[in-house]
Structure 1
């Protein structure tokens, strides 16, 4: 059984011009079920949405810059943009199913950045793919391009950097929610002649792209968080935040995934 929200989302994808087969593969709903919904439920009418802010005669930033900063972090970590037919592009962000709060936050950010477009989440093995279709994702995320992100240059445009500078914690949160984590490390020390276990929290961000790691550390510098680069073999994939005051800042503004 499917609830009305699921049916409405699926019919919304069909209303965008997609075939029953592609919607079936995206949502896991059979083509026969989709066809029956088309006959039994009044098709979803596409309402004209607000124009893309980057396509205006005078380009402007998105109307919800905080949500955009968070979504930018998610995209740089675990997102991709792929072309579909009729000039439509799909933003897809893959998130671990262990963190339903992060999945909800991702869906909310997609809706805030493009409120006129439907958002769909599809269960895959061990994860959810949260996606939304729009002709304007490449306008809003010019980092889109062929190949893997860590194999090509990644740089923010001036308008994107202005948003990150104004909302650094949202950007940091998006990066942590995609490619980061908060863990409890431990060590031992001798206290009064007795060796005792000592635990302390630590944040990690792991990404193969030198450029994306630099965007992350630049944002950390802006908010006063001290960090250290740690190598995996000969490659400095990991950015660690372990100092007590810096972890406290991260806990206040980011916190563990949920």
Structure 2
């Protein structure tokens, strides 16, 4: 048996996008146990924790790195909707081709709202990862009527502090939702022989100019060079791609 603190620290590592094998090696906890935690097999034991934003002196979430990742996912592929009796549901829709990202999303939701059950609903070609809570609107004040690209998306100062402290987690969440890593290729004639050269690059696509600006501003803070064309952001410089490979990597 593991105490709740051990479990939450382990789920925070999952939320960072780490593999089960590397987490198991670091913590000494079996891959099967970690897998059961992330797929809701073992119920949560601690209940009634207050929302950090609803206290007399509002505080940031207890797991800021997981929050930064979840914020990126939410701005890309998530939405919050009213349910009933003051409860809201956060849903993040993710391609079923990337089970590791679905697991990381689930772990991040648990890390931010540890007393609320997370579920995943299979849809055509994707999973909707959902969590019910009364506190999603105060944790994600970007929530509002209509589509995100039809309203202003501006981070609150406390959110910006979290993104500044954990920029790579925020970038990873955005790319995991609305980005990709691809390999381009070209040919060159060298000494009379045509050779093929491959080079990776990252793309991020979003309809909201505000969300694109949040993404590029954060790239600037970690010294990643980028170019933007309409709603598409491209990262192709070798050094910048190398940084993203270290901190984000291909979808999985």
TM class by smaller structure: 0.7 to 0.9
Residue matched to 1:251? 245
Shift, 1:152, TM fit: 0.9
Q: Deviations over 1:95-152 (max 9, x none)?
A: 0000000000000000000000000001000000000000000000000001111111
Q: State the 1:161 CA deviation.
A: 0.1
1:40-119 equivalences under 5 Å are: 48-119=47-118
1:148 aligns with 2:142: no
Shift of 1:194: 2.5
Q: CA 1:45/1:67 → structure 2, altered by over 3 Å: closer, same or farther?
A: closer
Report Cα offsets for 1:162-221 as digits up to 9, x if no partner.
000000000000000000000001112221122222110000000010000000001100
- The 1-side partners of 2:85 and 2:57 are apart by 25
SS in 2 for 1:54: helix
The answer on whether the counterparts of 2:44 and 2:115 sit within 8 Å (CA) in structure 1 is: no
Aligned residue runs from structure 1 range 109-258, under 5 A: 109-230=108-229, 236-258=230-252
Counterpart mapping for 1:14-33 below 5 A: none
Q: CA deviation at 1:46?
A: 9.1
Could you tell me how far apart the structure 2 residues matched to 1:88 and 1:109 are? 19
How many residue pairs get aligned? The number is 210
1:49-103 Cα shifts (integer Å, max 9, x gaps): 2100000000000000000000000000000000011000000000000000000
Query: Cα RMSD over matched residues?
Result: 1.3
2:44–2:114 Cα contact (<8 Å) kept: no
State the TM-score, normalizing by the size of structure 2: 0.81
Contact 1:122 1:128 in 2 (8 A): yes
Residues 142-151 or 194-203, more deviating: 194-203
- Structure 1 unaligned segments of length 5 or more: list them: 1-43, 231-235
